[in-house]
Amino acid sequence: MSTSIRNLSYSLAINEAIHQMMSEDKNLLLLGQGVKSPWYVGNTASGLLEKFGDLRVIDTPVSENAMTGAAVGAAITGMPAIIVHPRMDFMMYAFDPIINEAANWSYMCGGKSSAPVVIWGVINRKGEQAAQHSQALQALFAHIPGLKVVAPSNPVDAKGLMIAAIRDKNPVIFVDDRWLYNLESHVPKNVYEIPIGKAAILKKGKDITLVSSSYLLQETLKAAKQLAKEDISAEVVDLRTIKPLDKDLICKSVKKTGKLVIIDGGWKSFGVSAEISAMVSENIFSHLKAPIKRLALDDIPAPSSSVLEEVYYKGSKDIVKLVKSIL
């Protein structure tokens, strides 16, 4: 990466990535609800309409199936597309073009054709948004062959993973979290990629491995700092990509520490944490010095009460408590 950097928020890092890619590829399209109103998608679309025009930045009707189908169809015919869903929950209406068409297209065509589309879903939490506006559905899409799933945790990775997703020749689910939008860090100005399928160790440790992604990675880092004050050395692994998993890096870390806690923003049953737990158990069970523990949402829909939300959503205190129960 270039040393030419400056402070940039998470949302503006995504915006810069799309600006740079639309300048690089004159066929690249951005479609979605609210792209004409930058505030609607958290400034991630600021300035795009003015620079690239309404033939490439297309504010769609509220019809998730139709707008996603249009993006997939455009991608198949040679116009790569980014389709933004400001609330991931309503991607449910677009299952047919995502799962039946985009995910299967390259396989059914024997690799001779592809669907280079980024399906960008934004998770919204808290704020009394309740069950139909708060769902983190990354595990659902990770289950589907043919789909890659990325989930950045910081501005640098948000830009690099968005660029990598746009350049990928096949469909990528870009899992976004609105809780990250105001997070700032030093972001390189140049065009760069964060490789899809490569995790990162954000903090080295020797006592226990903590694996997380997206917003909860930030809570995991807070927990690791608190644990360090109590002489517990936690190694923090940022998945970056949920599918394909970086199995080698996860296993290497667990071999070193012998203990593993997986922190996931989705539900516990049949989720990302379950997949990682199974993978580690199948591959390096003899290296484990304690049972694997998982922290994820309880198997209930999100509540609409702000009081209940404080219990429902997990954070650094929950991570610290779980780690101590193991050590």
The reported pLDDT for the residue numbered 34 is 82
Given the residues 19, 133, 143, 287, select the one marked as catalytic: 133
Q: Report CA-CA distances (Å) from 34 to 30, 40, 193, 264, 316.
A: 11, 5, 26, 29, 33
Give, for 148, the enclosing helix (H) or strand (E).
Answer: strand 148-150
Marked catalytic residue, from 16, 64, 219, 275: 64
* pLDDT score recorded for residue 283: 98
Give me the pLDDT at residue 39, please. Answer: 59
Quote the CA–CA distance of 33 and 72 in Å, as a whole number: 16
Q: 106 with 77: CB under 8 angstroms?
A: no
Please choose, from the candidates 40, 36, 88, the residue with its C-alpha nearest in 3D space to the C-alpha of residue 57: 36
pLDDT in tens, 295-308: 999 999 999 999 99
Strand-pair category, 148-150 with 172-177: parallel
Q: What pLDDT does 3 receive?
A: 61
User: Which of 105, 90, 17 shows the shortest CA–CA distance to 60?
Assistant: 90
Q: Is 128 known to be catalytic?
A: no
Distance CA 239, CA 4 (A): 26
The per-residue pLDDT for 16 is 95
Q: What is the pLDDT of residue 149?
A: 98
Domains within the chain, CATH numbers bracketed: 5-188 (3.40.50.970), 200-326 (3.40.50.920)
Please report the pLDDT score of residue 125 as a whole number.
Answer: 82
193 is catalytic: no
Q: How far is CA 42 from CA 1, 31, 79, 183, 251, in A?
A: 26, 15, 25, 12, 36
Tell me what pLDDT residue 40 has.
63
Q: Please report the pLDDT score of residue 38 as a whole number.
A: 59
User: Low-confidence residues of the chain, pLDDT below 50?
Assistant: none
pLDDT of res. 2: 52
